[in-house]
Amino acid sequence: MARLGGQRHPQERVYLYVAKQSQGEDGHCTKDQSDRVGGDTQDAIHYDPSLTGSPGYYDVFAPIPTPLPITTDLFPEASFVGAGPDFWLSSCNLPAGTVFTWGVNFLTNASEGVAQVREIESAFANSRCKDVTLYNIELGNEMDVQDLGDHWGIWAYKARQIEFFNMINKELKNNGRQYRIGDFAGDWTSEQLLATNIMESPMGNFINSISEHHYQTGSQYNLTSISVYAENAEDLVNKANIRSNLAQYSASAHYAQSAGIPFVLGETNSFSGHGSPGVSNAASEALWMIDYSLQAASIGVTGLYFHQGVGYNYSAWEPINHIGGNVYDYEPSAKRHVLPLYYGYLVVADAVGNAGNTYINELYTGNDNLTAYQIWEGKDLKRIMLLNEQTWTELSEGTRPVMSVNLPNLAASNTKATYKRLEFESLSALSGLTWGGQSWENYEGKPTGKVNMEKVGSDGTIPMNASSAVLIYL
């Protein structure tokens, strides 16, 4: 049995930025979606005013090899995108309240950057986009791994950012547009960029966030299109691995806070290279995402942008038809659907809530598999998130272990506490997940079934299966 005690308001409070939130019609906490349109492809976009009408753009992809060596070759990123004005108008198609970071090509000249910013702002000024918001512009993706000449480095990056900033203001006027800087792959850090005094430059008054990119582990497991790696769920859903991976960003968050701007992981997910089959597209991704997100919040990361795309193993949903549960399968009857990561989004949204003044504090458990977080709203403890990260996959044998988690203070002070469970057959499950007894696995992506709220036992004990999560409402 694991015991949790010492529940108190944290002395060092870490603020988790939460965008404007509302209560969904199904009773689940939802928040305005923050989208980054960027990645490698943003530096392959070229404006072409002759591309009018639908679809308003064209992509150039590398040919699909035969036989197929890796899944990313089946759904590759475009090597060239010709984009007309309607390309950026696609922003208007997203749900009301969506907040955008739009990436701009930084590998070309500043005049191309000006053209793209002009078209981005023109799109958001269109009445069709009245319910969505442009939050900031991102000049370039992962410039720390690009080669722009012999003298390319972080000081040259700063100078080029300011060059683009000045040219955009000269041609389009300074309308107060905001920028995100950084978006580094790992060779440079936020601390190093801020040490260049970029915030003291004229551009500094218009920078509203700084970003780095991070993946829990590399793409070495994404080897073939016909393999699954259930055994690698243990590497992903791993309390120690998650903490050691994220610890490096505590300093970045600190320096960003000192500079007066939020620090975000502007691109993140499980296995780089679009995920690992049988892990990133399975229940393991959902359980990992919950601990990963709350742990990031607890060390000062104010936002996480989970990378996804058509046919990517680690996506939260598959937006087109004909792609099966194993994303490399072509299934003519398959409809667009949610993937297991979507359940992680649901759990984190419910855990964070909609108050807007949420603080996350991790509780010490003394157990390598048990993770616990307090969720505070101001000075009030509102919820407790529990995760049992003991591995249980389709390869596990015997009876699934059960851990009894005891919260003695809860039993003594709150007899009305209830909780919801995230449940699935194993970390290898591609479907069949439920959150609080409800499923989202349908063509519409809406919940089915009734919400199941369980009562905490009078002794404060909650039984938890290996590889599961519980959210306690106080």
Given a cut of 90, whether residue 217 has pLDDT beyond it is no
Same domain assignment for residues 330 and 366: no
Q: Give the pLDDT confidence score for residue 228 in this predicted structure.
A: 52
Same domain assignment for residues 88 and 202: yes
4 within a domain of the structure (yes/no): no
Given a cut of 50, whether residue 203 has pLDDT beyond it is yes
> CATH number for the domain including 246?
3.20.20.80
Q: Give the pLDDT confidence score for residue 19 in this predicted structure.
A: 28
- Token match 């990361």: residue? 301
281 within a domain of the structure (yes/no): yes
Mean pLDDT of 321-341: 71
Given a cut of 90, whether residue 427 has pLDDT beyond it is yes
Same domain assignment for residues 316 and 373: no
Same domain assignment for residues 178 and 316: yes
Peptide bond into 10 cis (omega under 30): no
Same domain assignment for residues 347 and 371: no
Q: Give the pLDDT confidence score for residue 12 in this predicted structure.
A: 24
13 within a domain of the structure (yes/no): no
Determine whether 51 is exposed, middle or buried from the number of CB atoms within 10 Å of its CB (0-12, 13-18, 19+): middle
Helix intervals (H) in 201-356: 233-236, 239-246, 249-259, 283-298, 341-352
Given 358, 377, 396, the domain boundary residue is 358
Residue type, 15: Y
Mean pLDDT of 372-390: 95
Question: Residue 442's pLDDT band (boundaries 50, 70, 90)?
Answer: confident
> CATH number for the domain including 458?
2.60.40.1180
Given 299, 331, 358, the domain boundary residue is 358
Same domain assignment for residues 282 and 367: no
Phi then psi for 73, rounded to 5 degrees?
-75, -20
- Cα(458)–Cα(76) distance, integer angstroms: 54
276 within a domain of the structure (yes/no): yes
Given 323, 341, 358, the domain boundary residue is 358
pLDDT in tens, 163-173: 999 999 999 99
pLDDT in tens, 114-167: 999 999 999 999 999 999 999 999 999 999 999 998 899 999 999 999 999 999
- Cα(352)–Cα(281) distance, integer angstroms: 24
Same domain assignment for residues 341 and 397: no
Beta bridge partners of 338: 317
Of the chain, the percentage scoring pLDDT greater than 70 comes to 84
Domain count, the chain: 2
Question: Residue 312's pLDDT band (boundaries 50, 70, 90)?
Answer: confident
Q: Give the pLDDT confidence score for residue 30 in this predicted structure.
A: 41
Q: Give the pLDDT confidence score for residue 226 in this predicted structure.
A: 40
Domain that holds residue 28: 20-358
Q: Give the pLDDT confidence score for residue 412 in this predicted structure.
A: 63
Q: Give the pLDDT confidence score for residue 23 in this predicted structure.
A: 30
Predicted TM-score (pTM) of the model is: 0.90
384 within a domain of the structure (yes/no): yes
8 A C-beta contact, residue 28 and residue 447? yes
The DSSP element (H or E) to which 304 belongs, if any, is strand 303-306
Between 319 and 424, the more confident residue is 424
Q: Give the pLDDT confidence score for residue 78 in this predicted structure.
A: 79
6 within a domain of the structure (yes/no): no
Same domain assignment for residues 411 and 318: no
Same domain assignment for residues 365 and 295: no
Of the chain, the percentage scoring pLDDT greater than 90 comes to 63
Peptide bond into 65 cis (omega under 30): no
453 within a domain of the structure (yes/no): yes
Same domain assignment for residues 123 and 174: yes
pLDDT in tens, 187-200: 999 999 999 999 99
Same domain assignment for residues 262 and 151: yes
11 within a domain of the structure (yes/no): no
Same domain assignment for residues 387 and 252: no
